[in-house]
Structure 1
Amino acid sequence: MENITGAGGLIQTNQIYKATKPDGLTIGYLNGGLILGQMMSQPGYDFDPQKFIYVGAAGKDNEVFVLSKKSGITSAEKWRTSPTPVKLGGMAPGNTVDNVNRVIKDVLGFPTQLISGYKGTADIRIATESGEIAGSNVPWDSSQTSWKRSIESGDIVLVIQCAKNPLKDIPKVPRIIDFAKTEEQKTMIDVIVHSANEFSRPFVLTPGTPKDRVEILRKAFADTMKDKEFLAEAAKMQVTVDPLSGEELTAAVSSASKLDQSTLAKLKDILFK
């Protein structure tokens, strides 16, 4: 396995798309938030998400906002009414973390200061624990592994969840959509957060990969998602398995690509201004 870092996953995505041999021997694990950026014709996004071949996804991100207790922001209401901006960590424009942070700041108007440029979620966690920032949004599964000890001790608080429907483990944590007061706000949240979560962590193949190899890999992926040993290991690691097939991912990306120009312009203004 090779971990290609840089630009919030953009370098890896471009490499898988145009610099990898389409033989089915290399599978990319992408940050789906970049797909929205490409749809807005951002410079450096040298790929077409509709031409990627989707193998499948093991689940959705379903982010939660995690904030440190010492920041003084221990609830959504305290954040919404904070007299000073709450510092949130991010990685790069177009990355899912940054996209969701933008929603809370620029769509819902929560007092927020965005500090981007961290190399990954591990660095964001360290910065949160040190007091450099108040926190950020992370996938629910990550909050239950990397952040578990701090959450259990009360040093880290879950203040808002981004799932479309309340997660069963945190039904009382308010959803981000609960704070939308206008139809436009609801639309922005639906596109940037809910719809994007459908293709948040896809496994992909380089365009041009032979169909027979695609079929083999899709079947192997689907079989793995049902394998008892795999599911037992996932449960042990507290990782939720809620798979999407390659065909479902293809349909989700295709649907997102049909957004009207007016909506795309608003999205671009929010995510890349």
Structure 2
Amino acid sequence: MNSSVKKITVAAAIICSVLLGGCDSKGPSTQSSKAGNNQTSQASAAEFFKGKVLSIIVPYGPGGGYDQWARLISPYMQKYLGVSKVLVVNQPGGGGLVGTGKIYSAAPDGLTIGDTNAAGDVFSQLAKNAGVSFDVQKFNWLGRPDDDPHIIAVHLDGPYKSFSDLLQASAHGTTLKSLATGAGSSDYNAAVITLNSFKTRFQMVAAFSGSSSEKAAFLGGNGDTMSVSASDIAQIAQHAKPVLLIADEPFGKLADVPTVIDVAKKQNLPDSSIKLLHALVGVMAMGHAFFAPPGVPADRLAALRSAFQKSLADKEFVAATQKADLYLGYAPAAALEQETDTAMADGALFQPLLTASK
């Protein structure tokens, strides 16, 4: 996948996180002094978190992917951060914007973090959607736990068997109904940008508090398509057929599903559209990202990032994600920061299609 989230390696992140101050190219005496300062900072942060309660805000209702990741990681954050308890707090509304705003405006003491819809946040800010009360470039990213690409799926027993079938139906005057969570979510924007890029006739149906209610509506026979993550589809594989992967390379578990880039080239979309879809892929790769509000002291932020990374490497946590059919794939804070900056710089590419979706 040609995105900064993929390009920044986990190995580099691990090396740089050994010292809280990151990698340093200065001489041995400087490094020794810095290591001593880092040890003091680590001790200070550890003392602060000891016995405290950490809250993880989820911007969606219970049962969906964001809620699942937060609840899976909470006991391990407790283990590695040293807090006495971790509370998972669901704050649905506005396609994730309400809960994300709560994370962003929380007291910057390190005791509130959240599992946010990173791509949805970026697109909502670019589109200047009502309800945006944050600046994504000021998020204190902790990292991304998953490698879980987005897909567009159809009913397994429905009239459409491929994305080409959808395009043909649209070309003959059919208005496709596409399910997604609220208008601020990544799955909503992924569908809107993709369908607009292919000049498809469509109507978004986006009144769901999370992916669990979206899937329930789809299973009830609603909509022609559904925009969700690959892990969501794995849970309802007997009822849904993935027809398009929002990626620029095949995904192992769905190797037979064409990527949006391959389909765009086969449909002879202009280079400008293919460039936009590559940019979309990069933003969508940000996944179920965790962040802390702006202003968290550096030593506490470093402790949160370290605990997050250690949690993802914990053997019991890895086993739990496998049991839940989730696709583990760590990306460090630096990768998310870089992708956020790139996406905001690419705003001119996205805005026309985001505006057209309103």
Q: TM-score, normalised by structure 2?
A: 0.69
Q: Do 2:192 and 2:353's aligned partners in 1 also have CA atoms closer than 8 Å? A: no
* 1:103 partnered with 2:193: yes
- Deviation of 1:206 after TM superposition, in Å, equals 0.9
Residue 55 of structure 1: SS of its match in structure 2? strand
Aligned to 1:266: 352
Distance 2:346 2:151 in 1: 26
Distance 2:216 2:189 in 1: 21
- Deviation of 1:40 after TM superposition, in Å, equals 3.7
Distance 1:265 1:120 in 2: 25
Aligned to 2:258: 174
Aligned to 1:133: 223
Instruction: Sort the Cα spacing of 1:162 and 1:264 in 2 relative to 1 into closer, same or farther, 3 A.
Output: closer
* 1:199 partnered with 2:286: yes
- Deviation of 1:263 after TM superposition, in Å, equals 2.4
Distance 1:265 1:9 in 2: 20
- Deviation of 1:202 after TM superposition, in Å, equals 1.2
Distance 1:127 1:41 in 2: 28
Identical amino acids, percent of aligned pairs: 24
**Which structure has the bigger radius of gyration?**
2
* 1:124 partnered with 2:214: yes
Distance 2:97 2:287 in 1: 14
Residue 107 of structure 2: SS of its match in structure 1? coil
Distance 1:168 1:137 in 2: 19
Q: Cα deviations across residues 127-183 of structure 1 (Å, max 9, x unaligned)?
A: 2122221231111112112x1xxx23xx32121111221011222211112232211
* 1:234 partnered with 2:321: yes
C-alpha root-mean-square deviation of aligned residues, in Å? 1.8
Instruction: Sort the Cα spacing of 1:22 and 1:239 in 2 relative to 1 into closer, same or farther, 3 A.
Output: same
Residue 89 of structure 2: SS of its match in structure 1? coil
Q: Map 1:1-273; keep pairs closer than 5 Å.
A: 1-18=88-105, 20-32=106-118, 33-82=120-169, 83=172, 84-145=174-235, 147=236, 151-152=237-238, 155-180=239-264, 181-192=269-280, 194-259=281-346, 262-271=348-357, 273=358
Q: Do 1:55 and 1:204's aligned partners in 2 also have CA atoms closer than 8 Å? A: yes
Distance 1:127 1:268 in 2: 24
Residue 250 of structure 1: SS of its match in structure 2? helix
Question: Which structure is higher in helix share?
Answer: 2
- Deviation of 1:231 after TM superposition, in Å, equals 1.2
Instruction: Sort the Cα spacing of 1:258 and 1:81 in 2 relative to 1 into closer, same or farther, 3 A.
Output: same
- Deviation of 1:264 after TM superposition, in Å, equals 4.8
| Structure 1 stretches lacking a partner, 5+ long | none
Q: How many residues align?
A: 263
Q: Cα deviations across residues 45-75 of structure 1 (Å, max 9, x unaligned)?
A: 1111111101111024411222113431121
- Relative contact order (alpha carbons < 8 A, sep ≥ 6): 1 or 2 greater? 1
Distance 1:228 1:92 in 2: 35
Distance 1:87 1:156 in 2: 15
Residue 141 of structure 2: SS of its match in structure 1? strand
Opposite residue 209 of structure 1, the aligned amino acid is: V
Distance 2:287 2:353 in 1: 17
Distance 2:224 2:346 in 1: 34
Q: Cα deviations across residues 215-260 of structure 1 (Å, max 9, x unaligned)?
A: 1111111112222221122112221111111122112112222226
Residue 242 of structure 2: SS of its match in structure 1? strand
Residue 253 of structure 2: SS of its match in structure 1? coil
Q: Do 2:139 and 2:294's aligned partners in 1 also have CA atoms closer than 8 Å? A: yes
| Structure 2 stretches lacking a partner, 5+ long | 1-87
Distance 2:211 2:249 in 1: 24
Instruction: Sort the Cα spacing of 1:40 and 1:128 in 2 relative to 1 into closer, same or farther, 3 A.
Output: closer
Opposite residue 59 of structure 1, the aligned amino acid is: D
Distance 1:89 1:223 in 2: 36
